[in-house]
Amino acid sequence: MSPEWIGAVAAIGTFVVIAASATVALIQMRHMRSANQISLFTSYNTEFDSPEFTAAFAFVRTQLSGYVFSPEELDALAVGVYSDPLRAARSIGNFFEDMGSFVLTGVLHENIVCNLYSQNVLDAWHAMAPITFFVRKHRDTAAIWENFEFLAVRSQMFVDRHPNGIYPRSLRRMPTDDSLLRQYKPVQNPELTFKT
């Protein structure tokens, strides 16, 4: 075999090794991205299920719309300072702000986030909209909780596309058990009233 052929075969071999290495690297990157998403989702679910978050979210969903702001609280809120009861709202806003940022930048997959959190995002956004507008107006910027707003818009679009959820229409459902529903007698408790 001539030296030219040996050089050509070596070049082809080198190309094959480099192409295989690049392919393996891309596969590893995809696995790392999936692992990062799983890690982030685990962190979000852990925080979402924490007693502190549960209490803050319950306040936002059930009490914030009827909350009466004192003039001092409004003065503080105008400069971005939250009183004790309103720290719950700030925590919820920041939680969804962070999540929205990860969705916007593609770190978290939008369909997965919206599938898991869309109704919670929308409940929080609607309850917090007056605070958001007030703070934005007084601080003269629409950038406050903009990623939260982005996530709320994308969540609304997801709900509009899937009003009955994403369960496949062609797949049968499990048998229903309405025993609890039959024994339920509503009690009027305004703290447990949720907006839909």
Each residue of 103-122: pLDDT tens digit? 999 988 899 999 999 999 99
The pTM score is 0.75
Residue 119: both structure tokens together = 């109704």
22-56 tens-digit pLDDT = 666 666 666 566 567 677 777 887 888 899 999 99
Give the number of C-alpha atoms closer than 13 A to the C-alpha of residue 154, restricted to the C-beta side: 22
* Rounded Cα–Cα distance for residues 26 and 158 (Å): 30
167-189 tens-digit pLDDT = 998 999 999 999 999 898 888 76
Residues listed for the chain: 196
117-151 tens-digit pLDDT = 999 999 999 999 999 999 999 999 999 999 999 99
CB 113 within 8 A of CB 103: yes
CB 59 within 8 A of CB 27: no
CB 70 within 8 A of CB 63: no
Residue 89's closest CA among 137, 128, 144?
Answer: 128
